[in-house]
Structure 1
Amino acid sequence: MRRLSPLPPPGPLRTLSLATLANTVGTGLWLAGGALYLTRGVGLPAAAVAAGLTVAGLVGLTASVPLGALADRRDPRTLRALLQVGQAVAAGAYLLVDSVPVFLLVAILESLLATGNLAVRAALVAAVGGPDGRVHAFATLRAVANLGIAVGSGLAGFALAADNQIGYRALVVGNVLTYLLSAALLLRLPPQPPVAVTRKRPWAALRDGRFVAVSAASAVLSLYVTLLGLVVPLWIVGRTGAPPPVVSAVLLVNTVLTVLLAVRLSRGVDRAAPAARRMRRAGLLLAAATPLYALSAGRSAGPATALLLAATVLLTVGDLWHSSAGAGLAYDLAAPDAIGAYQGVDGMLGGLARAVGPALLTPLVLGGGGPGWLVLGAVFAGTGLAVPTLTRWARDGRAGHPERMAA
């Protein structure tokens, strides 16, 4: 059982993992029940909720780089704990929502804190893991996060079954409590003072065009997140003969494989060159999954289900290769005295891809059918093949400008 558990041995990474587990249980609660709380519990129009969350998500991206840069100047442990407390306040504010304007205000505040927190978390992971252990730490937290979201989603089922004000408000309170528990666990970590005092402006990382190019390629590959969360479920119920429960089976396969394999598939990508090669393989594997999804169209339940599950296995392994390689590239190509700011840029580009993903992939795949899947596969393959060249270009630029490396 110890080998199956994503939790690492006792130590700072175990503490950070427990904080992540607490946080993501709350994430699972809110992902499963937040939309229903706002529509059925509060009575907001579904279209207004969808539009508000989109606007909030885009506005929230602006916090990624400034808060990441702040983590380069302050203890990221304390900063993240404070942000978690702020997120608890924002989550609790949903209990006060009674109109669309109030909802939009709360959603924007929550998104700013959440997006900035991801950049601070990346800086904290780098501090806890060190140069040779930060990708391993990142992968460990990825596995733990998937476990926490699964647990939270399962717990949300009780509130959703009740389908009343008490149940929906219990979801909100549960989310608040998990933020506070996470903050308390974070403060059990030893302080993580900055390794150097940087005078770089927060937006300096955005002017590193070569780093931005590599991160943008990684962001394109991250569109698989939209596939699994939105496009594939709609494809299953609308274009294949597979029964609706296959949607749950697909998501379960993805979750279980992520928990079991995230750490194992993260080995060997602590440096940029091997990470770029792994990213290339990830792009090709993501591309290989798309024809299988396309072939599932119009098939009966058995063959369609087999194709969908096989495609999901390929997509999940490609996902895990991509996420660990992306972390290796983002860390190793960053200026050592601006890790947080660079992670903020990387996170902002990934967040932008996830924000526009539904608008891009829904008409491409659901509207284009099989040819749309093949076009997407070509994008994945071409992007993956380009990453090693972009990485060499970024490393050459860094070597030609030693001030980017200097503390």
Structure 2
Amino acid sequence: MTVIDTLGLPNTRGRVPLIVAQLVDALGTGLFLPFAVVYFHAAKAIPLATVGLMLSAAALLSLPAGPLAGPLIDRFGPRRVVVTSNLVRVLTFTGYVFTDVPWQLVVLVTVTLCGESQFRPAAAALVAQVADGGQRARWYAMERALRNTGFGAGGLLGSAVVGWGGNSGYTAVVVLNAVSFLTAAALVAAWRPAAVPGRSLPGGAAAPAPAAAGAAPGRAGYREVLADRAFRGVLVTVGVFALCDLALTVLLSAYVIEARGLPAWQPGTLFALNTVLVVVGQTAVARATERHRRPRVLQVATLLWMVSFGLFAVVPGGHSAVAFAGLALGMVVFTAAELLQAPASSALTVALAGERLRGRYLGLEELMWGLARVVAPALFTWLLARGAGLPWLVLALCCLAAVVVLRTLERVLPAHVQRETADA
């Protein structure tokens, strides 16, 4: 067994430019993401409340972008959509530098989020297209580890730039992020996939898949996707997973600092712990679980999330050391759930979709994430205001519902969808 196989890494021969592009993209995003709210407040002199309204409005307006990406991916191929979405964000981040008018910034942020919502399903479809048979989960795991590495390194670099340059540092971070998107677009555009039958064509579009017996003639659309009962069940679980994931970024800091009165250094340390565990363990966990049924892996992940939410909920206030020990344990369990869920969930959607409608399936998956991003801030803060443990209880109940759905899927999904196979 090679070192690469032991670490759970996929075969990357001939696809290194895609990996470098992913890392560059994540590095640039990590530069800006921690300072997004502060940038519009400090560098553009916009009140914090207005910034919050701007970002919420942009998130709501960008919701249709995910489903709209589906037909584009299916028609033009994921590589072209990845390149285009990166170029769109080059333009919007450049635009941030030249305006401080709130309504113009709302337009720019909306277009930025549309680019992100089109990038994510296109990137997932591109991975499905280029991965060797049986290695999709490994590719999704490696992609996630790379993005966490880039986010972490970018956050540290961004902090140094802002600390050195003040308001000018914020502008430098925005410009560097635009450059990272341009670099990533150039790398993906310059890369040419090998002409493997049934996988990809030189232009980056999917090779036509053989028509299934009894398939309806003519152009397929979202009506056919939504008629897939199993996929409707998968979408329910995706919505739950999105809320669980967003609890880390949207809920945890407010819970630790405001609801429990604990020191402000604790959330940042917990985030760092999560990042390190993902970078170190994601590919190895994907390798260890790739031969297990995906619905079963997702059930275990969901149950682990329930345990982590229980640990977070019982953390005592006013006892910093004891509380941090409980939070750290909860974060380890939370991250274990993430490590199981992320590659298995992506691979399940792709396997269920097949190649002909893959973009539309992934577009609807992105829509569920977009809805969660809109709902989570208001829902979590509303629940937190009514009881410190209430958000964790609601999340645990959502997880319980997801387990029920996953058990049903385990009974009805065909074997090739449930497990990774060499000819996938």
Distance 1:163 1:376 in 2: 41
**Does residue 194 of the first structure (1) align with residue 203 of the second (2)?**
no
> RMSD between aligned alpha carbons?
2.6
1:123 is matched by which residue type in structure 2? A
Work out whether residues 212 and 346 of structure 1, in 8 Å CA contact, stay in contact via their aligned partners in 2.
no
1:352 is matched by which residue type in structure 2? L
Partner of 1:227: 247
TM-score, normalised on structure 2? 0.86
Alignment of 1:154-233 (within 5 A): 154-162=156-164, 164-191=166-193, 192-196=204-208, 199-201=219-221, 204-233=224-253
Q: Report the alpha carbon displacement of residue 135 of structure 1 after superposing the two structures with TM.
A: 1.8
Range with bigger deviation, 231-240 or 102-111 = 231-240
Partner of 1:89: 91
Partner of 2:213: none
Aligned with 2:387 (options 361, 364, 368): 368
2:323 is matched by which residue type in structure 1? A
Work out whether residues 11 and 132 of structure 2, in 8 Å CA contact, stay in contact via their aligned partners in 1.
no
Q: Decide which structure has greater helix share.
A: 1
Q: Report the alpha carbon displacement of residue 209 of structure 1 after superposing the two structures with TM.
A: 4.2
Cα displacement string for residues 24-77 of structure 1 (whole angstroms, at most 9, x for unaligned residues): 111111112222221111112222221221222222221212222222222322
Q: Secondary structure at the match of 2:393?
A: helix
Q: Report the alpha carbon displacement of residue 366 of structure 1 after superposing the two structures with TM.
A: 5.0
> What is the aligned-residue identity percentage?
27
Aligned with 1:290 (options 309, 313, 324): 309
5+ long unaligned stretches in structure 2: 194-203, 210-217, 418-424
Work out whether residues 213 and 390 of structure 1, in 8 Å CA contact, stay in contact via their aligned partners in 2.
yes
Partner of 2:42: 40
Alignment CA distance shift 1:131-1:388 (3 Å): farther
TM-score, normalised on structure 1? 0.89
Q: Report the alpha carbon displacement of residue 14 of structure 1 after superposing the two structures with TM.
A: 3.1
Work out whether residues 67 and 360 of structure 2, in 8 Å CA contact, stay in contact via their aligned partners in 1.
yes
Distance 1:209 1:385 in 2: 15
Distance 1:334 1:2 in 2: 29
**Does residue 313 of the first structure (1) align with residue 341 of the second (2)?**
no
Distance 1:161 1:129 in 2: 41
Aligned with 1:327 (options 323, 331, 346): 346
Range with bigger deviation, 164-173 or 307-316 = 164-173
**Alignment: residue pair count:** 396
Partner of 1:382: 401
1:351 is matched by which residue type in structure 2? G
Alignment CA distance shift 1:190-1:374 (3 Å): same
Work out whether residues 89 and 115 of structure 2, in 8 Å CA contact, stay in contact via their aligned partners in 1.
yes
Q: Report the alpha carbon displacement of residue 21 of structure 1 after superposing the two structures with TM.
A: 0.7
Q: Report the alpha carbon displacement of residue 89 of structure 1 after superposing the two structures with TM.
A: 0.9
Work out whether residues 6 and 144 of structure 1, in 8 Å CA contact, stay in contact via their aligned partners in 2.
no
Alignment of 1:8-407 (within 5 A): 11-162=13-164, 164-191=166-193, 192-196=204-208, 199-201=219-221, 204-240=224-260, 242-267=262-287, 274-365=293-384, 367-393=386-412
Distance 1:285 1:245 in 2: 25
Work out whether residues 135 and 266 of structure 1, in 8 Å CA contact, stay in contact via their aligned partners in 2.
yes
Q: Secondary structure at the match of 1:369?
A: coil
Q: Secondary structure at the match of 2:191?
A: coil
Distance 2:15 2:141 in 1: 11
Work out whether residues 308 and 330 of structure 2, in 8 Å CA contact, stay in contact via their aligned partners in 1.
yes
2:154 is matched by which residue type in structure 1? G
Distance 1:346 1:312 in 2: 26
Work out whether residues 84 and 182 of structure 1, in 8 Å CA contact, stay in contact via their aligned partners in 2.
yes
Work out whether residues 287 and 377 of structure 1, in 8 Å CA contact, stay in contact via their aligned partners in 2.
yes
5+ long unaligned stretches in structure 1: 399-407
Q: Secondary structure at the match of 2:327?
A: helix
